Amino acid sequence: MKILKKLFLLFVVIGIFPLCITSCASKQYHLAVDASIISKGQTKAQVMDLVGKPDYITKTEKSEEQWYYYNDITPFYKKIPLIGGLFGKRELEVIQVTFYMDRVSKVVYYVAEK
């Protein structure tokens, strides 16, 4: 009888453990929503208030400044070492906000392979 209780407990733990891991895997965040609230003509301060600090900033030859926001949308199983590559490519969401004279001139949202 004690063996049955131990086996039952073992099966419960084995069954619940994967659910706990996947539920805490990562926070869902979608840059597409952020890209939709940025519009032409907004200032850098307005964009910073709406979306936050950019992950990367670069300047172009045309006196433009580009802000990049990144979000890794790769499912957790694609990040597993050695076997994760078998499930396909990793993906990254990107927003590119281009400023000309401190105003948004272009907003581009895309998904890139990592």
Give the tens place of pLDDT for each residue, 10-39. 665 576 656 555 544 445 567 888 999 999
Whether 3 is in a domain gets the answer no
- Cβ-based neighbours of 57, under 8 Å, separated by 6 or more: 65, 66, 67, 68
- Of 77, 90, 84, 95, which Cα lies nearest the Cα of 30? 95
pLDDT for residue 83? 78
Whether 106 is in a domain gets the answer yes
Whether 7 is in a domain gets the answer no
Q: How far is CA 57 from CA 42, 69, 81, 98, in A?
A: 17, 9, 31, 10
- Residue 65, pLDDT > 80, answer yes
Whether 108 is in a domain gets the answer yes
Instruction: Indicate whether this model's pTM tops 0.75.
Output: no
Domain of 72?
28-113
Give me the CATH number covering residue 65.
3.30.1450.10
Whether 99 is in a domain gets the answer yes
Whether 9 is in a domain gets the answer no
Whether 22 is in a domain gets the answer no
**Tally of structural domains, the chain:** 1
Whether 18 is in a domain gets the answer no
